[in-house]
């Protein structure tokens, strides 16, 4: 298929316009076939950009440049017509100015390269919740990853209409006069990277980066930043959330979503292996949930992605065995270490490497006698990734691709909080639940910052979506309030909302591994079981100033280690002094950012919380 064969006139005209501007040597319309995937991967191997892995069938390792290893938040823009509509948490440049700059960069940017035209679907093909896009890119790496992460190629053309999302990407490294990459990851310098979103036009332009969410434009750019805009316009929710299927010993099923900032165990929870007998967790999605109201007034969710773009370091048999199995074949690894026998390795994998390793920068080094490395000397980059097909996950739910989506009973929020926040509590109402989502945050640790003065402060990440919301976060809060007031539903059909915290600490207790008062991982199924019963209205709670909490004996502790049983009362009580400090921080440092855009309902919830705590 060629550009001339594209039947959709709007798509064809847009592609031709971009070809004229970017000036690629050739144009290929992708068909999404296995033959095409193999051909493009061979091209990367032959160019020295990819290494086949002897230990993992049809799997390959890529190494990026050190300047292109993660999202670049300070180069990510929400270019709304009005700066106010981008809000206080986004970077903004006026559309006219930003387009002029980027058009100058795009001019001739694909010299010496092929432009790939990749039609793709976010969500199950034909789903009433799914959306469609076309990405133009000069990166084979992007096409290969998008083949895994989306439903891409010929199969999508029949669904593509004029409301597609145009996504233009270039690595920003033209090859002139016969130049080659010579095995060096192509990208532009940091000051010339732009990941730009134009909300009013539903348009995405990306330049200068070949990494992950900066270049796989179906992921954060489309599935969250533009999708949040679409969701607000159309009355649904596009969220940075896992979706899991929870089955109790009676065979009853509930679906739960959850939003957690990075390093808070979201993927681990989505693929959890329960420790309590008779319970089962299956995965619908590990990162993004799109939720729309069904005819019965309930919210139904789909996972818009077809794969996992997971963080490798810290993934082990203990933390997430299912993720390791999912990434055991047909997987793309980025910035992991390479072992002598042709496998990948990373810090926190659960076992030491042997012999010599090629680290993520391409240096040959002697392996260490453990699976940890000094900070700054890691063999795998801390943001090293694996891109694996979701269907390979051993706990993938049989209905994960249901076109109608799955009905959501509960929504979890959580962050990494070593104090104050209890193991679990439930919101009294939808508005109270939105309040809980709006105050999500994690405590800054010495390991997560280079500024010692920030240690101990709370980094707020409402709904775990601060880097990914395509418009003003105050208006985003209001949209959540409005969803709860949707005339097509009522309060008893809305998901129940909970706040969880797996990370309470008592560093003075030598009996607690790492000082953590809760073991996490599979033991989190004990909390999920309580959530399950609360969704059925079971009388297993007490009313407290902060919301509903498990009554004594409501959490199943059979088989739980004694040290955690002893700690349980402490992490299931209300720390009034700590919560009053929380109220003060929210009132003085967090909510003022949103000014007149902050919904009055959230201010009322904050006042109510302070009043209850003061009684």
SS3 string, 218-263, reads HHHHHHHHHHHHHHHHHCCEEECCEEEEEECCCCCEEEEEEECCCC
What is the longest distance spanned by two Cα atoms in the chain?
Answer: 76
CA distance 214 to 205: 10
Collapsing DSSP to helix, strand or coil, 354 comes out as: coil
pLDDT at 319 over 70: yes
Phi, psi (degrees; rounded to nearest 5) at 586? -65, -45
Strands 289-293 and 307-311: unpaired
How does residue 447 score in pLDDT terms, banded at 50, 70 and 90?
Answer: low
Matching residue, tokens 């930043």: 225
* C-alpha 101, offset from chain centre: 29
Res 450 pLDDT > 60: no
pLDDT for 102-123, tens place per residue? 999 999 999 999 999 999 999 9
What's the whole-number mean pLDDT along residues 139-147?
A: 98
Quick: pLDDT tens for 342-372: 999 999 999 999 999 999 999 999 999 999 9
Nearest one of 266, 518, 252, 288 to 405, comparing CA atoms: 288
Q: Cα(63)–Cα(229) distance, rounded to whole angstroms?
A: 34
Tell me if 112 sits within 8 A of 176, measured CB to CB: yes
Using one digit for the tens of pLDDT, what is the confidence trace for 562-571?
999 999 999 9
State the pLDDT at residue 452: 61
- Please provide the DSSP assignment of 438-505 as one string: HT-EEE--GGG-S-GGGTT-EEE-GGG-GGG-SS-HHHHHHHHHHHHT-TT--GGGSPEEEEE-S--B
Q: What span, in angstroms and rounded, lies between the C-alpha atoms of 355 and 424?
A: 45
Distance CA 77, CA 89 (A): 11
CA distance 219 to 304: 9
- The rounded percent of the chain whose pLDDT value lies above 70 is 98
Cβ density class 211-249: b for 16+ within 10 Å, e for less: bbbbbbbbbbbbbbbbbbbbbbeeebbbbbbbbbbbbbe
Rounded Cα distance between 383 and 364, Å, is 20
Q: What is the pLDDT of residue 264?
A: 86
600 sits in which H/E element: helix 600-614
Q: What pLDDT score was predicted for residue 461?
A: 96
How many whole angstroms separate alpha carbon 606 and alpha carbon 583?
A: 7
Q: Which domains does the chain have, with CATH numbers?
A: 3-30+74-234 (3.40.449.10), 239-303+400-614 (3.90.228.20), 308-392 (2.170.8.10)
Q: Supply the pLDDT for residue 449.
A: 52
How far apart are the C-alpha atoms of 80 and 92, rounded to whole Å? 7
Q: How far is CA 535 from CA 257, 295, 410, 435, in A?
A: 13, 20, 7, 19
Q: Is the pLDDT of residue 460 over 90?
A: yes
Partners of residue 338 on adjacent β-strands = 344, 358
Residues catalogued as catalytic: 264
The string of pLDDT tens digits covering residues 2-55 is 999 999 999 999 999 999 999 999 999 999 999 999 999 999 999 999 999 999
Q: Tell me the three state secondary structure of residue 117.
A: strand
| Residue 299 near residue 241 (C-beta atoms within 8 A) | no
The C-alpha atoms of residue 338 and residue 313 are separated, in whole angstroms, by: 14
> What are the tens digits of pLDDT across the range 239-294?
999 999 999 999 999 999 999 998 788 999 999 999 999 999 999 999 999 999 99
The pLDDT tens digits for 206-215 are 999 999 999 9
Q: What is the pLDDT of residue 590?
A: 97
Q: Which residues contact 523 (CB under 8 A, 6 or more apart)?
A: 275, 560, 564
**Rounded to an integer, what distance in angstroms lies between the CA atom of residue 408 and that of residue 299?**
6
* Arithmetic mean of pLDDT over the chain: 96
pLDDT for 336 equals: 98
Give me the phi and psi of 13, to 5 degrees please. Answer: -65, -40
**Band (446; pLDDT cuts 50, 70, 90):** low
Which of these, 219, 166, 188, 197, lies nearest to 92 by C-alpha position? 197
Mean pLDDT to the nearest integer, 408-427: 97
Q: What is the mean pLDDT of residues 434-449?
A: 82
Rg of the chain on CA atoms, in Å: 24
15, 117 in Cβ contact below 8 A?
A: yes
Sign of CA dihedral 385, 390, 395, 400: positive
Does residue 21 sit in helix, strand or coil? helix
Predicted local distance difference test score (pLDDT) of residue 444: 79
Cβ burial of 162 (10 Å; 0-12, 13-18, 19+) is: exposed
pLDDT at residue 615, rounded to an integer:
85
Percent of the chain with pLDDT over 90: 94
């Amino acid at each position: 298929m060629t550009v001339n064969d594209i039947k959709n006139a709007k798509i064809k005209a847009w592609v031709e316009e971009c070809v004229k501007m970017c000036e690629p040597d050739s144009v290929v319309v992708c068909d999404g076939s296995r033959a095409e995937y193999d051909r493009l991967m061979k091209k990367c191997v032959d160019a020295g950009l990819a290494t086949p892995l002897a230990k993992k069938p049809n799997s390959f390792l890529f190494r990026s440049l050190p300047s292109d290893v993660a999202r670049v938040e300070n180069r990510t823009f929400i270019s709304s017509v009005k700066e106010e509509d981008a809000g206080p948490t986004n970077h903004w440049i006026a559309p006219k100015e930003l387009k002029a700059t980027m058009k100058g960069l795009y001019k001739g940017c694909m010299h010496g390269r092929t432009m790939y035209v990749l039609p793709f679907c976010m969500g199950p093909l034909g789903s009433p919740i799914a959306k469609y896009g076309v990405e133009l890119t000069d990166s084979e790496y992007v096409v290969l990853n998008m083949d895994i992460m989306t439903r891409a190629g010929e199969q999508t053309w029949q669904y593509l209409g004029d409301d597609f999302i145009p996504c233009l990407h270039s690595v920003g490294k033209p090859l002139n006069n016969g130049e080659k990459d010579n095995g060096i990851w192509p990208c532009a310098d940091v000051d010339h990277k732009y990941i730009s979103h134009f909300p009013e036009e539903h348009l995405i332009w990306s330049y200068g980066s070949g990494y992950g969410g900066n270049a796989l434009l179906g992921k954060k750019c489309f599935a969250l930043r533009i999708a949040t805009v679409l969701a607000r316009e159309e009355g649904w929710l596009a969220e940075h959330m896992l979706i899991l299927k929870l089955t109790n010993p009676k065979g009853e099923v509930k679906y739960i979503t959850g939003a957690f900032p990075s390093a808070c165990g979201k993927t681990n929870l989505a693929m959890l292996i329960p420790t309590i007998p008779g319970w089962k967790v299956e995965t619908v999605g590990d990162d993004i949930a799109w939720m729309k109201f069904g005819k019965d007034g309930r919210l139904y969710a789909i996972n818009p992605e077809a794969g996992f773009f997971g963080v490798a370091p810290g993934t082990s048999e203990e933390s997430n065995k299912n993720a390791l199995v999912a990434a055991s074949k047909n997987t793309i690894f980025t910035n992991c270490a390479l072992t002598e026998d042709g496998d990948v390795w990373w810090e926190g994998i659960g076992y030491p490497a042997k012999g010599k390793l090629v680290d993520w920068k391409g240096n040959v080094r002697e392996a260490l006698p453990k699976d940890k490395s000094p900070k700054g000397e890691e063999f795998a980059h801390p943001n090293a990734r694996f891109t694996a097909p979701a269907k390979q996950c051993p706990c993938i739910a049989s209905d994960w691709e249901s076109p109608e989506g799955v009905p959501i009973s509960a929504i979890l929020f959580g962050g990494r909080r070593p104090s104050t926040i209890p193991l679990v509590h439930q919101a009294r109402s939808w508005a109270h639940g939105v309040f809980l989502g709006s105050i999500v945050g994690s405590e800054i640790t010495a390991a997560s910052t280079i500024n010692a003065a920030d240690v101990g402060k709370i980094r707020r990440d409402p709904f775990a979506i601060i880097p990914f919301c395509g418009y003003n976060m105050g208006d985003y809060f209001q949209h959540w309030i409005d969803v709860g007031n949707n005339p097509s539903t009522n309060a008893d059909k809305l998901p129940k909302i909970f706040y969880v915290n797996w990370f309470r600490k008592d560093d003075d207790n030598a009996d607690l591994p790492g000082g953590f008062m809760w073991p996490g991982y599979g033991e989190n199924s004990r909390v999920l079981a309580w959530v399950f019963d609360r969704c059925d209205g079971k009388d297993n709670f007490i009313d407290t100033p902060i919301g509903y909490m498990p009554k004594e004996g409501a959490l199943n502790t059979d088989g739980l280690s004694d040290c955690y049983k002893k700690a349980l009362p402490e992490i299931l009580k209300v720390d009034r002094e700590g919560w009053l400090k929380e109220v003060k921080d929210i009132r003085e440092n967090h909510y003022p950012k949103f000014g007149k855009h902050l919904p009055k309902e959230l201010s009322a919830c904050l006042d109510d919380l302070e009043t209850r705590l003061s009684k």
